[in-house]
Amino acid sequence: MLQKDSPAPEFNLYSTPDQRLKLGDFKGQRVILAFYPADWSPICSDELNLFNETLKLFTAKNAVLLGISVDSKWSHLAFAQSRKFHFPLLSDFEPKGEVSRQYGVYNDVDGESKRAIFLIDEHGIIQWSYLSPDGINPGAEGILAALDDMDKAKK
């Protein structure tokens, strides 16, 4: 798993069936990458619902949230619409898990992303990362604390 001070690997993934997003699209902003195992699973649903509710706090810290899993762009579209998410879900579908592998969070046994969070600064450098145990919602406290630490370091 990539650690603090590592450059965040660039990616170009589908965010909708006809639109792609690149990490470079967010240059000058902080980016929260939330890798998760699967759309529709109970824990992933809880985790992403919590992040959706916390979105205003992330935005106040100049951070955008991007969810990433190996599910298809069509699954993401249906999942995001049903849950009313206000952040993009990116499809690491083809080649399957390529971005998850680059970040060191692909689960080869289950063929899905591990539950992991990366906080990337305005210059594309990872400032915080966390690998959550399977079956555990990591919550948002760690992300918010890491964003606060980044603010303190700027002063």
Long-range (24+ apart) CB contacts under 8 A made by 12-19 are 13/68, 13/90, 13/91, 13/92, 13/99, 14/73, 14/76, 14/90, 14/91, 14/93, 15/73, 15/76, 15/88, 15/89, 15/90, 15/91, 16/73, 16/77, 17/73, 17/74, 17/77
Q: Is 44 a catalytic residue?
A: yes
Q: Which of 44, 48, 63, 65 is catalytic?
A: 44
Catalytic residues: 44
